[in-house]
Structure 1
Amino acid sequence: MEIIRSGQFTPAADGSADFVEHLSVPALSFGTYSIPAGATDEQSPHNEDEIYVVTQGRGSFTSGGQTVEVGPGTALFIPAREEHRFHDITKDLVTLVFFGPAYSGVPQP
């Protein structure tokens, strides 16, 4: 067993959005993604399926041609290689992020 401290708001040193990977095994990986209010989510699609669980904050999320409002308790599934983005962040956002298989860090071709 491993206890992972996660869910705290921790933007990058320059105040931008920041992803921190906390655990990686071949079948899956887990991390946190912090996006400050007003910041831009500049991520690219991934080669892995992904689940976000919002633990704090407020904003919007667009994926697969749909836009939804997100807040604590919102869970989102994004299939591999699908364009997606958080935006209009009105309150510092923290999400738990799960990738399957483990996140490779390689953008889609």
Structure 2
Amino acid sequence: MRIIDGAGQWAPPAQGTANDWVENLRVPDLSVGTYCIPAGGVDDQSPHTEDEIYVVTAGRARIVTPDGAAEVGPGAVIFVPAGEEHRFTDVTEDLALLVVFGPAYGSRGTA
């Protein structure tokens, strides 16, 4: 057992960066991280080669995929399959996301 301190908690991006990404845990079959986008910020991520689950722990935004768009806020759980384009837009409140990748982030190579 392991308690993952800080996972899903808001952290402002470092000076000169758009967003904050921290990998909090990594094992071969999954990884857990925290992705933060400040209010008014731009999500600059690319599709991933792993399946992904986001849990919104703070903030509000809109997620856009080829299948549609949805408003999200605290408590929302979002599944994004490997390779699917997705982006958080209209970030109206500092957005903190707990992110779970299966298998571990980047373990399947690049998209």
* TM-score bucket of the superposed structures, by smaller chain: over 0.9
1:67-102 per-residue CA deviation (whole Å, 9 max, x = no partner) reads: 000000100000000000001000000010000000
Give 1:107 shift.
Answer: 3.5
Percentage of matched positions with identical amino acids:
56
Partner of 2:3: 3
- Cα distance in 2 for partners of 1:107, 1:43 equals 13
Aligned length: 108
- Cα distance in 2 for partners of 1:107, 1:54 equals 25
TM-score (normalizing by structure 2): 0.91
- Cα distance in 2 for partners of 1:74, 1:82 equals 19
Q: What's the Cα RMSD here?
A: 1.3
1:20-66 per-residue CA deviation (whole Å, 9 max, x = no partner) reads: 10001110000011110000000000000000000110010012331
Unmatched tracts of structure 1, length 5 or more = none
Runs of 4+ in 1 over 6 A off after TM superposition: none
TM-score (normalizing by structure 1): 0.93
- Cα distance in 1 for partners of 2:84, 2:69 equals 14
Matches within 5 A, 1:50-69: 50-69=52-71
- Cα distance in 2 for partners of 1:84, 1:19 equals 16
- Cα distance in 2 for partners of 1:44, 1:34 equals 15
- Cα distance in 2 for partners of 1:64, 1:50 equals 16
Partner of 2:78: 76
2:74 counterpart letter in structure 1: P
* Native 8 Å contact 1:55 1:96 kept in 2: yes
- Cα distance in 2 for partners of 1:21, 1:97 equals 9
Greater shift, 96-105 or 76-85, is seen at 96-105
